[in-house]
Structure 1
């Protein structure tokens, strides 16, 4: 069954996504990050290159020919061919990701803005109605 985790009150969406991506990668997991726009995607891409000195996290775009072979993928839309892995999906978008139930874990990152909280509540209800009770984690004040 898919686990669902909501990390809410994130002051820095890309920072929290980077931290959670690194944590999952270091635990041997494959990670896909779905982002709402190219600006945030570029920001996260840069963070994954320089998270800590000498600690590159291997990643490519979701639409890259190397996506199926790379442990971390990022993108703003699902490829026409579908997801390239089924382990961890980190979602920073307002909508429930398509085919979310194929993943072992869904991680929702929600900011402090009310414009993000409303759609996040709808996603929470959607997962709960699908029989996947979400777990909440408050990241406010954690510096990421």
Structure 2
């Protein structure tokens, strides 16, 4: 299993909206960055991800799962853009902020710290487990 982080502005797509989609999940559409798109092309069913509220909150608020592998993004006719579908698994007991992540030296190499603008990014397993522990949330 691989781990990922999906960033969304809560005013555009929030954790509550993701949860409301239930088991069917929702397309993670609208991504127009080649590196982020390529990450989605590498995702497999069952991969897990952090759901990150960007902009004001800047915090990991939940765990999602890839429920449909890479396919054409339905929001565009441009064949270059793909997306995956994700479904909510569980909220974080305690959201983990970007400031908390940056303050932990063990997470200094995390993509979120080094390249915070990337909307879809990989997360190493050790980072996944540390952040879940910080958020008092089951990593599995």
- Compare the two structures and name the one with the higher strand fraction: 2
- Compare the two structures and name the one with the higher helix fraction: 1
**TM-score interval w.r.t. the shorter chain?**
under 0.3
Q: TM-score, normalised by structure 2?
A: 0.27
Q: TM-score, normalised by structure 1?
A: 0.26
More contact order relative to length (CA 8 Å, sep ≥ 6): 1
